Amino acid sequence: MFIGHFALGFAAKKATPKTSLATLFVAAQLADILWPILLAFGVEQVMIVPGNTATNPLDFVSYPYSHSLLMLVIWGAIFGGIYFARTANSRGAWIIAALVVSHWVLDWIVHVPDMPLWPGGPKYGLGLWNSPLLEQAMEVAMYVAAVAVYARSTRARDKQGVWGFWITVLLLLVAFLATSYSAPPPSVNALWVTAMIGTLVTLALAWWADRHRESVSPLASSTRSLS
């Protein structure tokens, strides 16, 4: 799952309009933000095995701290708690916590049984990656619907709000297609370096685009939050 996670971030903006899109993206992608860091330090392991699934060449040998359900519940509580302490936005805090946990649910749908319930616990996965057309259709449908929700819930304050939004949307879509059809990464080191750089670029674009947009949702307050 790739743009499906970002889809939930886009859609969540309607429910918590004062929360930055970049913050929502971090929540939805927190597992995949932690994962390359833990890979870099050797705490978690992955192997590049072309043909491991019809869609993804990665064999996720061990990622109990970034991707187990229990740890994502804990990470979600921590992230939501920090956000609430900073903003006093309880609705946003609950949504952020739910987005963190949603990562496990979406990955469970597409992964083969490698998603642990807790570190060292049983692993599950429905394996939709082995049905690439169905998996890609599902992700694209989620993404298009969520982008539409975000577009209807916000409006551009200036031209940067228009172009920043579309650049972000298209960049994520191109990245999804590239990862779906490109050759396997040459090494694990290249994998985590690319993942980190991609995350930084995506979050910077999301922050920039959202900063130049304003909510039209009835949930929005008259004062735009800097969160």
**Per-residue model confidence (pLDDT) at position 149:** 97
Q: What is the largest CA-CA distance in the chain?
A: 52
Residues of the chain with confidence (pLDDT) below 70:
217-227
Cα distances from 175 to residues 1, 28, 65, in angstroms, run: 12, 17, 25
**Per-residue model confidence (pLDDT) at position 220:** 60
**Per-residue model confidence (pLDDT) at position 55:** 87
Could you give the CA distance from residue 21 to residue 16 in angstroms, rounded to a whole number?
10
Look at the block and give the residue holding tokens 């819930």.
153
Q: Using alpha carbons only, how large is the chain's radius of gyration in Å?
A: 17
**Per-residue model confidence (pLDDT) at position 223:** 40
**Per-residue model confidence (pLDDT) at position 217:** 67
**Per-residue model confidence (pLDDT) at position 224:** 45
Whole-model pTM?
0.93
User: What are the extents of the domains in the chain?
Assistant: 3-215
Could you give the CA distance from residue 162 to residue 131 in angstroms, rounded to a whole number?
35
